[in-house]
Amino acid sequence: MPVGIVSYGVYIPRYRIKAEEIARVWGEREDMAQSLNVFEKSVPDFDEDAVTIAVEAARNALKRASIDPARIGAIYVGSESHPYAVKPTGTIVGEAIGVDHQLTAADLEFACKAGTAAIQACLGLVSAGMIDLGLAMGTDTSQGAPGDALEYTAAAGGAAYLIGREDLAAEIEGFYSFTTDTPDFWRREGMPYPEHGGRFTGVPGYFKHVTSATRGLLKKMKTIPEDYDYAVFHQPNGKFPRRVAKSLGFSADQIEPGLVVPWIGNTYSGSSLIGLAATLDVAKPGDRIFLASFGSGAGSDAFSIRVGDAIEDIRNRAPRVRDYFENVQYLDYAVYAKHKGKLRL
């Protein structure tokens, strides 16, 4: 029996800071934005965190397909910025969307790919017939140390996917994961900002894992890049997904609808899932979408997705990704620092 996406929802905070404003403060090159292909990034409000973002995304997912939350049997929330070190994000989200309490829940962490790992966990339970619907989320208010390269991209946002067997907006035809122990990026317990291996995050990290997962899935599915109408690759910046797509044989047109990083930055666990949502916002029934996430540490989950008939019915019942690009409010670096709690008083 086919399994897949019954509904989806996203949330991106309203505030933005431009990359050129960050570059101005730290005396970096003026063309930093062009070089990263990230022009601005989302910034959470004082009272937003990974939980509030997840709740808003999950509420949008429920609204989009008019789902009774009592049907949800599992909640998995992927994030690297869970507000509590101990105390699950998933229970707060569950209560806020009005679930029946007969469900399992857990928080996941795998740098930027915990959201796709959450989808895989739900796919397993749904495929086995153990639950009716699973809610998988990727949500983050990611951190970059002041002046670090990450600061130009570390953004806030999230996506929620309801995984089930009936009324599919998109069938997940198959997935393939590639995982190794690669310390390209990490944050130790109690530390406010992550550390990373600089250029080491590129070839041995992102490119090796995304390429291996993508090639593995294409081989498993017996497909080629041309079989897909769209493709979404994890977006730590605006360069990497373009470069990896090209090297794997995917075209610029295939990745264009899902390439949201130039306007919102890297939303970490939300990143590839918001890219997928932006693609579902425009895809037609029968279209095929290739998705590959990446999480430092390191791993990549690749999915082959076929858009279903239900997409046309549900698409307009909740905000689309690009709706969150409108009416944004720009912050200067000082106010941004206050929003992000970078000033220790």
Partner 1 sequence: MSTVPRFWRHIPQRYNLVGTHCEKCDEYYYPPRTICPNCRRNAKMEDHKFDGEGTVVTFTTIYNATDDFKRQTPYNLAIIELLEGPRLTGQVICSPEVIEIGMRVKPVFRILWKEGERGIIYYGTKFVPTEGWV
* Interface residue list for partner 1 (CB under 8 A): 14, 45-49, 51-52, 55-56, 59, 83-84, 92, 95-96, 98, 319, 323-324, 326-327, 338
Percent of the chain that is helix, strand, coil (3-state, to 5)? 40, 25, 35
Q: Is 14 annotated as a binding residue?
A: no
Closer residue to partner 1 in complex, CB, 15/303:
15
Catalytic residue among 40, 48, 56, 80: 80
Closer residue to partner 1 in complex, CB, 95/166:
95
Closer residue to partner 1 in complex, CB, 71/215:
71
Q: Is 212 annotated as a binding residue?
A: no
Q: Least distance to partner 1 from the beta carbon of 63, Å?
A: 12
Q: Least distance to partner 1 from the beta carbon of 108, Å?
A: 20
SS3 (DSSP) at 311? helix
Residue 224: how many other CB atoms lie within 10 Å: 9
Q: Is 30 annotated in the active site?
A: no
Angle at 205 between CA 203 and CA 209, to 5 degrees: 100
Q: Is 80 annotated in the active site?
A: yes
**CA dist 27 to 30, 59, 196, 279, Å?**
8, 41, 21, 36
Q: What is the DSSP string of 82-115?
A: -S-SSS-HHHHHHHHTT--S--EEEEE-BTBTHH
Q: Is 234 annotated in the active site?
A: yes
Q: Least distance to partner 1 from the beta carbon of 52, Å?
A: 5
Hey, what are 58's tokens?
């999950």
Closer residue to partner 1 in complex, CB, 84/186:
84
Q: How far apart are CA 210 and CA 121, in angstroms?
A: 20
Q: Is 301 within 8 Å of 13 (Cβ atoms)? A: no
> From the annotation, which residues make up the binding site?
112, 153, 199, 201, 234, 239, 243, 266, 296
> From the annotation, which residues make up the binding site for (3S)-3-hydroxy-3-methylglutaryl-CoA?
112, 153, 201, 234, 243, 266, 296
Residues that are catalytic: 80, 112, 234
